[in-house]
Amino acid sequence: MAIGRNNSYNRFGGKMKSFALIRADDPDKVKIALHDLETYGHMQFSENPKNIATKYADQILTSVMSTTLKTECCAASLVRLETPPGAAISNLKKIHPPAHIIIISPRHDNIYEELASNYDNFPDFDRKFTNAPKERKAE
């Protein structure tokens, strides 16, 4: 089988995978964005999302987008997708999550390979919301 742009196989010997990098100014926004990707973006995660350093997420963004950073993020996550990159990008355009999300595919050679090699080394991202009780005002 020929390997090319028009099929779902990549040079790494299998179905083309991709990553979604989620950056936000608040961990809860990352959690909501992950939920939105699955629920409204119809994306399938192949593994649990990972927590990555915010500076590293910012470096990935500037490298993939070939642009300067406008705002540093305060929370970031990386998730490996079963959804092919083209479909992930198309679906992402239809939803409006409260975070900045970029899809990283094997076309982003060095970055993709670095993320694929190190994915298991990143700690799991805690997707649970903490419902801290709100303080009551004294009357």
Q: Please tell me the predicted confidence (pLDDT) of residue 28.
A: 94
pLDDT digits (tens, 9 = 90+) for 3-39: 333 333 444 445 568 999 999 999 999 999 999 999 9
pTM over 0.75: yes
Does the pLDDT value for residue 52 go beyond 90? yes
Report yes or no on 44 lying in a domain.
Answer: no
pLDDT digits (tens, 9 = 90+) for 65-92: 888 888 999 999 999 999 999 999 999 9
Report yes or no on 34 lying in a domain.
Answer: no
The 8-class DSSP code of residue 139 comes to -
Report yes or no on 90 lying in a domain.
Answer: yes
What total number of domains does the chain contain?
A: 1
Q: How far apart are CA 132 and CA 134, in angstroms?
A: 6
Domain hosting 104: range is 49-121
Q: Please tell me the predicted confidence (pLDDT) of residue 109.
A: 84
Q: How far apart are CA 54 and CA 138, in angstroms?
A: 38
Report yes or no on 127 lying in a domain.
Answer: no
Q: Which of 22-26, 41-45, 62-66, 127-131 has the lowest mean pLDDT?
A: 127-131
Q: Hey, which residues does 101 pair with through a beta bridge?
A: 22
Report yes or no on 111 lying in a domain.
Answer: yes
